[in-house]
């Protein structure tokens, strides 16, 4: 049996998992999603991810047709069907099929589906040696336009930034907000370390509230490090002692060069490595059991 996808209440073979070409998720990016990791047959931060999914849906007035508990059970069932031990889970809710107009109220039946598979965002050597990033011209969406608290299917803003990074020959990029302050990366949250204090941008600058980001905050504070939400500029990144990124797929990845400026001594920083080690141990010991 091949890969199985959970679609609107039942498991189907991946090649038969289909939605209408009139679905507004496809036509307009009208929908929401999450990215969730599984480690050691456990689903990491399942409650937090489902809460964020439902919050995103509420903000855009998208009614998810099943309860949170039902959605969690469906995710577990999908992981079981695909024999997931360590993997990546993508729950998606779309507005559903409607007319060719924008009107969401003409889409009476939202679709929901769950994919469980494998993923690795960065090559292993980048975790060992660090990542080089550049700042791109594509700015983060205004919060008054598409609020960063909505993890929506409309990811074109991030994709355009990613394209700029590809042209520049780097795996990840820094996105600024409209005022020129650091917001986030195309797919990750960002941290800087200065004088043993850890800083990360607040959501008001246009950053998605990251679940891995929040986990790293907790782990850092347990180790005695102060984590501060702070608006900062590119210049403050350049003179930071350490820079690292966090994300569900990326986990924690060190950054050793930003816009050609070497960060610290050009190697993954001491605090970054401590947090990477703590995170690896934490994720395999916690989470919702699949079996």
User: What pLDDT, on the 0 to 100 scale, is given for residue 1?
Assistant: 60
For residue 120, is pLDDT > 80? no
Same-domain check for residues 63 and 135: no
Q: Residue 103: left if φ>0, alpha if ψ -120 to 50, beta else—which one? A: beta
For residue 215, is pLDDT > 80? yes
- Strand 31-33, strand 87-94: pairing: antiparallel
Tell me, yes or no, whether 289 lies in a domain.
no
**Residues 126, 128, 132, CA angle at the centre, nearest 5°?**
35
Rounded to an integer, what distance in angstroms lies between the CA atom of residue 158 and that of residue 200? 19
74, 34 Cβ separation under 8 angstroms: no
pTM for the model stands at 0.95
Last-in-domain residue among 83, 117, 151:
117
Q: Residue 182 belongs to what domain range?
A: 124-284
Same-domain check for residues 66 and 136: no
Q: How many CB atoms lie within 10 A of CB 173?
A: 24
Residue 217 sits in a domain whose CATH number is 3.20.10.10
pLDDT, tens digit, 9 for 90 and up, residues 157-168: 999 999 999 999
Last-in-domain residue among 97, 117, 137:
117
Same-domain check for residues 29 and 99: yes
pLDDT, tens digit, 9 for 90 and up, residues 59-96: 999 999 999 999 999 999 999 999 999 999 999 999 99
Instruction: Report how many domains make up the chain.
Output: 2
Active site residue ranges: 151
For 161, the token pair is: 């930034």
**SS3 string of 183-248?**
EEECCCEEEEEECCEEEECCHHHCCCCCHHHHHHHHHHHHCCCEEEECCCCHHHHHCCCEEEEEEC
Give residue 205's Cα distance to chain centre.
Answer: 17
Tell me, yes or no, whether 40 lies in a domain.
yes
Same-domain check for residues 231 and 109: no
Same-domain check for residues 248 and 164: yes
Same-domain check for residues 85 and 29: yes
Residue 39 sits in a domain whose CATH number is 3.30.470.10
Tell me, yes or no, whether 164 lies in a domain.
yes
Tell me, yes or no, whether 72 lies in a domain.
yes
Last-in-domain residue among 85, 117, 149:
117
Same-domain check for residues 278 and 257: yes
Q: How high is the mean pLDDT of the chain?
A: 96
Tell me, yes or no, whether 290 lies in a domain.
no
Same-domain check for residues 78 and 159: no
């Amino acid at each position: 049996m091949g890969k199985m996808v959970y679609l609107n209440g039942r498991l189907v073979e991946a090649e038969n998992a289909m939605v209408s070409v009139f679905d507004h998720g496809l036509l307009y990016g009208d929908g929401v999603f999450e990215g969730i990791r599984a480690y050691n047959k456990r689903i990491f931060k399942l409650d937090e991810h489902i809460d964020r999914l439902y919050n995103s849906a509420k903000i855009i007035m998208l009614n998810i047709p099943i309860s949170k508990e039902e959605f969690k059970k469906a995710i577990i069932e999908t992981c079981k069907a695909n024999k997931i031990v360590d993997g990546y889970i993508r729950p998606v809710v779309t507005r559903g099929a409607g007319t060719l107009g924008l009107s969401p109220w003409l889409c009476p039946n939202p679709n929901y589906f769950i994919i469980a598979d494998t993923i690795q965002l960065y090559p292993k050597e980048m975790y060992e040696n660090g990542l080089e990033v550049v700042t791109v011209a594509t700015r983060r969406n205004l919060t008054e336009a598409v609020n960063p608290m909505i993890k929506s299917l409309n990811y074109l803003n991030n994709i355009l930034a990613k394209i700029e990074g590809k042209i520049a020959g780097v795996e990840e990029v820094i996105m600024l907000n409209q005022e020129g302050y650091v917001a986030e990366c195309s797919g990750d949250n960002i941290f800087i370390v200065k004088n043993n204090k850890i800083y990360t941008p607040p959501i008001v600058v246009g950053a998605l509230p990251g679940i891995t980001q929040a986990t790293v905050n907790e782990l850092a504070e347990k180790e005695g490090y102060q984590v501060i939400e702070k608006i900062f500029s590119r210049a403050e990144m350049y003179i930071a002692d350490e820079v690292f990124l966090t994300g569900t797929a990326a986990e924690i990845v060190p950054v050793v060069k930003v816009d050609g400026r070497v960060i610290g001594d050009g190697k993954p920083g001491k605090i970054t490595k401590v947090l990477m080690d703590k995170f690896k141990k934490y994720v395999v010991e916690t989470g919702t059991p699949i079996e």
